[in-house]
Amino acid sequence: MIIRNALCSVLLSLLLAIMATTATAATRPDFSDLKGNPGLHSASALVTDAKGNIIYGKDIDAVRSIASVTKLMTAMVVLDAELDLDEKITITKADRDLVRLTGSRLKYGARLSRRELVQLALMSSENRAASALGRTYPGGLKVFVTQMNRKAQALGMTNSHFADPAGLRTENVSTASDLTKMVTAAGTYPLITGATTTLRREVRPYTKRGPLNYGNTNRLLKNKNWDIALSKTGYINEAGRCLVMQAKIGGKAVSIVLLNSFGKLTPYGDSNRLRKWMLAI
């Protein structure tokens, strides 16, 4: 009798577990049943699931400038080289922006570790940080850019080209289709996912000055409705506003690429429109 009761108890537990799993799965949206159109304003957009299946696409093969989304490739090339992340790097005049003439809080003489430069380039889109990473790569900047393009080819990014590590040049181009491949690859690097989802970071690049505080350029990270695993923004005039992300919507992992959005808030508006559309099932 004791054995029979124990067996019944085990079978009941298994049945309840199966029922719970089935109920949980039933509450999750099936994005294959989506209806209508999310009404996005971005010129190109692509949403894919964890297996690479397209949930939504708009002009996904158009070649466009990608601005600072470039910095995801920069970070991957640095990390692939297995360089010393604790090595201190000094910002020099060679790192200044001669293309857009943008400023920087990292003045000449500022010293940070390679790890800190990667983090600032990703979370705060610090141009001099990205440039310094390329300049101090073995062989110099030219070799670094060559490695960026080799990495793109290896990832199957056939319609992409990289011209500088910061994304300042118009010649940094890609497509929504290609960027989904880059985002997927970048998501396998813990330092990249950690840096791109960090809200704030304090660094001390000067010995006789106080710390500098940097914030993340993606405002959706502050939104409790979003569960974001990786993100990168970008902007130059020729590229418009760009945003790429890995996130969970309805409990399912998705990749989002939004390119050439007009208006500072448009990528965030489009992201929220996508999320609302995907959950309205």
Out of 42, 44, 124, 125, which one is annotated catalytic? 125
88 is catalytic: no
Q: How far apart are CA 148 and CA 173, in angstroms?
A: 12
Q: How far apart are CA 196 and CA 72, in angstroms?
A: 9
Q: How far apart are CA 174 and CA 186, in angstroms?
A: 15
Biggest CA-to-CA distance, the chain: 84
Out of 71, 151, 181, 232, which one is annotated catalytic? 71
* Token duo for residue 207: 């010995």
65 is catalytic: no
131 is catalytic: no
CA nearest to 96, candidates 84, 87, 106: 106
Out of 44, 68, 124, 174, which one is annotated catalytic? 68
Catalytic center residues: 68, 71, 125
